[in-house]
């Protein structure tokens, strides 16, 4: 079922993970500087979101909601561990048993507080509890379920109900667990062509170029899948790390301009996503680019031709049949 929206929509989702995003491959060690610069980039982003009244969904790794942890001898006994073939020792071995002030790359309640106090309302969504890769056979249903339950519990401590989900590495699986735990929406991936799926440098270059040219698919439709709303991403706001730094920010903005135009024209979704630490790779030009995009969104919204719901709001409307003619 693909309902037609009554109006085009701009969705913004942010995979908020700090060091957790590199737990599975140990890459968090190489990006400590970027993670340390992320809070300042997030503060600047929140101020832009407030200024242009842009609503976003922050898919936060559940552990970042904690102020501290590890009372007993075993780290998080409530979590069923993934069984990935490359793991040596326990999944949580690299993770500190500590608290927010001492290890700010593994705990971020301060960041959650700033998100919640943004001048424009923001949604806190879920990105698993410890950034497990759900679609890998090493992540059992029991593992995924324990991860999601831990997030739901942590969010409850904040008075938050989680309804939107973003899969780490966009690896979609176990949708039945999400539905059981009260989720209504997840971010899917639009088909971005064969080249972008290739491993190694060819795929990396293809993916990089993809996000700075205004080539289709630029928009997508929500889709009802296994009792949830799949809200496909249609653009990644490319960082400026490594070779991606050679690609002009103007390309990222041009792609968004075309996507927003088509979303408004065709009553479809333009769904942009990024990781907050991506902004720390070159904060000034990347935030200036985002500001240009937000200005376009605000202009179309003020002219009544584009909505800017959070993922959760859109799912709620779709559930209610509002915005649907199908």
Residues that bind Zn ion (CB under 5 A): 15, 17, 21, 69, 168
Please state the closest distance from residue 8 (CB atom) to Zn ion, in A. 27
Instruction: Write down how long the chain is.
Output: 326
Q: 306 by DSSP, 3-state: which?
A: strand
Q: 199 by DSSP, 3-state: which?
A: coil
Beta strands in the chain (DSSP E): 8-16, 57-60, 123-126, 164-165, 185-186, 223-225, 228-230, 235-236, 269-274, 306-307
- Which residue lies nearer to Zn ion by CB, 5 or 61? 61
Residue, CB closest to Zn ion: 69
Please state the closest distance from residue 250 (CB atom) to Zn ion, in A. 27
Please state the closest distance from residue 258 (CB atom) to Zn ion, in A. 26
Q: 116 by DSSP, 3-state: which?
A: helix
- Which residue lies nearer to Zn ion by CB, 37 or 69? 69
Helix H or strand E segment including 138: none
- Which residue lies nearer to Zn ion by CB, 96 or 251? 96
Scanning 20-75, the segments in alpha helix (DSSP H) are 32-52
Please state the closest distance from residue 70 (CB atom) to Zn ion, in A. 6
- Which residue lies nearer to Zn ion by CB, 15 or 313? 15
- Which residue lies nearer to Zn ion by CB, 19 or 296? 19
Q: Which of 274, 262, 293 is nearest to 187 (CA)?
A: 274
* Residue 233, phi then psi, degrees to nearest 5: -75, 150
Please state the closest distance from residue 17 (CB atom) to Zn ion, in A. 5
């Amino acid at each position: 079922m693909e309902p037609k929206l009554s109006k085009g929509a701009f969705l913004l989702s942010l995979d908020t993970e700090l060091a957790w995003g590199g737990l599975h491959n140990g890459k968090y060690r190489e990006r400590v500087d970027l993670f340390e610069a992320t809070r300042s980039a997030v503060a600047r982003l929140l101020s832009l979101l407030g200024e242009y009244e842009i609503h976003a969904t922050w898919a936060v790794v559940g552990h970042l909601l904690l102020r501290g942890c590890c009372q007993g001898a075993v780290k998080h006994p409530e979590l069923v561990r993934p069984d990935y073939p490359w793991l040596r020792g326990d999944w949580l071995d690299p993770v500190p048993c500590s608290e927010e002030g001492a290890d700010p790359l593994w705990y971020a309640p301060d960041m959650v507080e700033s998100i919640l106090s943004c001048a424009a309302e923001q949604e806190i969504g879920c990105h698993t509890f410890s950034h497990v890769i759900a679609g890998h056979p090493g992540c059992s249903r029991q593992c995924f379920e324990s991860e999601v339950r831990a997030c739901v519990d942590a969010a409850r401590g904040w008075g938050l109900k989680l309804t939107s989900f973003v899969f780490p590495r966009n690896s979609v699986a176990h949708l039945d667990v999400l539905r059981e735990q009260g989720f209504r929406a997840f971010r899917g991936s639009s088909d971005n062509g064969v080249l972008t799926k290739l491993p190694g440098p060819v795929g990396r270059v293809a993916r990089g170029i993809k996000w700075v040219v205004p080539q289709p698919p630029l928009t997508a439709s929500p889709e009802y899948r296994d009792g949830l709303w799949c809200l496909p991403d249609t653009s990644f706001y490319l960082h400026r790390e490594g070779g991606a730094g050679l690609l002009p920010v103007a390309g990222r903005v041009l792609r968004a301009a075309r996507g927003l135009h088509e979303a408004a024209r065709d009553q479809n979704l333009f769904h942009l996503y990024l990781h907050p630490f991506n902004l720390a790779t070159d904060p000034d030009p990347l935030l200036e680019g985002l500001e240009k995009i937000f200005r376009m969104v605000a202009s179309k919204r003020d002219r009544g031709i584009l909505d800017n719901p959070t993922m959760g709001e859109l799912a709620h409307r779709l559930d209610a049949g509002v915005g649907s003619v199908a």
